[in-house]
Structure 1
Amino acid sequence: MTCRQARSLLAAQGAAVLGTGGYTYDRFVRDRSFCEPTQITKNAFVPTRDTPECLVGYRCIEPGRDWFDDE
């Protein structure tokens, strides 16, 4: 899948589970509305057929206690 195809898939579906290489995969989302209420989004870069680091969308993550520290 090309970078453009991966981005288009997320734009159309809102969320998708994509393979990230070998036997690994992760869930990617178009925006925070596809995350749990306590989660935030983090940029998600994945290798695609034409780009080693394609910004496909976001991952939903649970922020840790120190996530919002200014230090």
Structure 2
Amino acid sequence: MRKSALTMMSAAVVICGAVPALAQSGRTDSRALSCAQARATVAANGSIVLGTGRHTYDRYVANERFCPPHQMAKRATVPTRDSAACLVGYRCVLNTEREDRRWWLRRR
């Protein structure tokens, strides 16, 4: 009985250790997709994290509806298999053009 409990504990440790590696490998790399595939992936998901290089990634959205209230959508391009600058959708950036500008300046 003691041996089976030890075996189950070691199996749980192995499984828990593998979960972060699975999550990291799940990121879609834009450089492996065509421009049309990358654009369709963003549109289908609404919001997605795309890898744009070996150690770089960002969140891309289909439209401003997927941005938090204090942010706005700004056009975004990514490198793809067939284009150096493919317009895939938008990135959410701080909205400093309207009344949110006063909030941003007060925060400093």
TM-score (norm 2): 0.58
- Counterparts of 1:1-71 in structure 2, within 5 Å, are 1-64=33-96, 65=101
Q: Aligned partner of 2:83: which letter?
A: T
Q: Aligned partner of 2:58: which letter?
A: D
* Structure 2 unaligned residues grouped into runs of 5+: 1-32, 102-108
Q: Which has the higher contact order (CA 8 A, sep 6+)?
A: 1
Q: Which has the higher strand share?
A: 1
Segments ≥4 residues shifted beyond 6 Å: none
Deviation for aligned residue 1:22: 1.6
Q: Which has the higher helix share?
A: 2
Q: Distance in 2 between matches of 1:44 and 1:4?
A: 14
Q: Secondary structure at the match of 2:59?
A: strand
* Structure 1 unaligned residues grouped into runs of 5+: 66-71
Identical-residue share of aligned pairs (%): 55
Higher radius of gyration, 1 or 2: 2
Deviation for aligned residue 1:11: 1.1
When the two chains are superposed, the root-mean-square deviation of aligned CA atoms in Å is 1.3
**How many residue pairs get matched?**
66
